[in-house]
Amino acid sequence: MIKTLAVVGATGAVGRIVLEEIVSRGLPYQNLKLLASARSAGKKVEVAGRQITIEEMRPEAFEGVDLVIASTPDEVAAEFVPWAVQRGAIVVDESAYYRMHADVPLIIPEVNPEALHRHKGIIASPNCSTTQMVVALKPLHDAARVRRVIVSTYQAVSGAGLAAQTELADGTKAALSGNVATPSMFPYPIAFNLIPQIGSHKQDGFTSEEMKMVYETHKIIGDDSIAINATCIRVPVMIGHSESIYCETAEPLSLDQVRELFAGAPGVTLVDDLSSKRYPMPRDCQDKPDVFVGRVRKDLINPHGISFWCVSDNLRKGAATNAVQIGQLLADKMANVTA
- The number of distinct structural domains making up the chain is 2
| The length of the chain, given as a count of residues | 339
3-state SS string for 250-315: CCCCCHHHHHHHHHHCCCEEECCEHHHCECCCHHHHCCCCCEEEEEEEECCCCCCEEEEEEEECCC
Q: Check whether residue 174 and residue 272 sit in a common domain.
A: yes
Q: What is the pLDDT of residues 147-179, one digit of tens each?
A: 999 999 999 999 999 999 999 999 999 999 999
Q: Check whether residue 242 and residue 119 sit in a common domain.
A: no
pTM assigned to the model: 0.95
How confident is residue 339, by pLDDT bands cut at 50, 70 and 90? low
Q: Check whether residue 310 and residue 332 sit in a common domain.
A: no
The residues with which 46 forms a beta bridge, in sequence order, are: 51
Q: Has 128 been annotated as catalytic?
A: yes
How confident is residue 243, by pLDDT bands cut at 50, 70 and 90? very high
Q: Check whether residue 212 and residue 303 sit in a common domain.
A: yes
Buried b (16+ CB within 10 A) or exposed e, 47-83: beeeebebbebeeebbeebbbbbbbbeeebbeebbeb
129 pLDDT above the threshold of 60: yes
Q: Check whether residue 11 and residue 112 sit in a common domain.
A: yes
pLDDT, residue 304, reads 98
Q: Check whether residue 53 and residue 186 sit in a common domain.
A: no
pLDDT, residue 323, reads 97
Contact by Cβ (8 Å): 95, 77: yes
10 pLDDT above the threshold of 90: no
Residue 114 backbone dihedrals phi, psi, to 5 degrees: -65, -20
From 119, 141, 232, 241, active-site residue: 241
Q: Check whether residue 232 and residue 334 sit in a common domain.
A: no
pLDDT, residue 326, reads 98
CATH number, domain with residue 145: 3.30.360.10
Residue 219 backbone dihedrals phi, psi, to 5 degrees: -70, -45
CATH number, domain with residue 117: 3.40.50.720
Taking residues 310-332, report their average pLDDT: 96
Q: Check whether residue 307 and residue 264 sit in a common domain.
A: yes
Q: Check whether residue 210 and residue 117 sit in a common domain.
A: no
335 pLDDT above the threshold of 90: no
Q: How far apart are CA 240 and CA 87, in angstroms?
A: 37
Q: Check whether residue 222 and residue 323 sit in a common domain.
A: no
pLDDT, residue 60, reads 96
The residues with which 244 forms a beta bridge, in sequence order, are: 152, 309
Q: What is the pLDDT of residues 88-104, one digit of tens each?
A: 999 999 999 999 999 99
Taking residues 4-20, report their average pLDDT: 93
Q: Check whether residue 97 and residue 207 sit in a common domain.
A: no
pLDDT, residue 286, reads 96
pLDDT, residue 104, reads 98
Q: What is the pLDDT of residues 44-67, one digit of tens each?
A: 999 988 999 999 999 999 999 999
3-state SS string for the chain: CEEEEEEECCCCHHHHHHHHHHHHHCCCEEEEEEEECCCCCCCEEEECCEEEECEECCHHHHCCCCEEEECCCHHHHHHHHHHHHHCCCEEEECCCCCCCCCCCCECCCCCCHHHHHHCCCEEECCCHHHHHHHHHHHHHHHHHCEEEEEEEEEECHHHHCHHHHHHHHHHHHHHHCCCCCCCCCCCCCCCCCCECCCCCEEECCEEHHHHHHHHHHHHHHCCCCCEEEEEEEECCCCCCEEEEEEEEECCCCCHHHHHHHHHHCCCEEECCEHHHCECCCHHHHCCCCCEEEEEEEECCCCCCEEEEEEEECCCHHHHHHHHHHHHHHHHHHHHHHHC
Q: Has 310 been annotated as catalytic?
A: no
338 pLDDT above the threshold of 70: no
Q: How far is CA 12 from the centre of its chain?
A: 15
Q: Which of 1-5, 56-60, 128-132 has the lowest mean pLDDT?
A: 1-5
The torsion angle over the Cα atoms of residues 57, 61, 67 and 73, rounded to 10 degrees, is 10
- pLDDT > 90 fraction of the chain, expressed in percent and rounded: 92
Q: Check whether residue 214 and residue 271 sit in a common domain.
A: yes
Q: Mean pLDDT over all residues of the chain?
A: 95
Domain that holds residue 245: 130-314
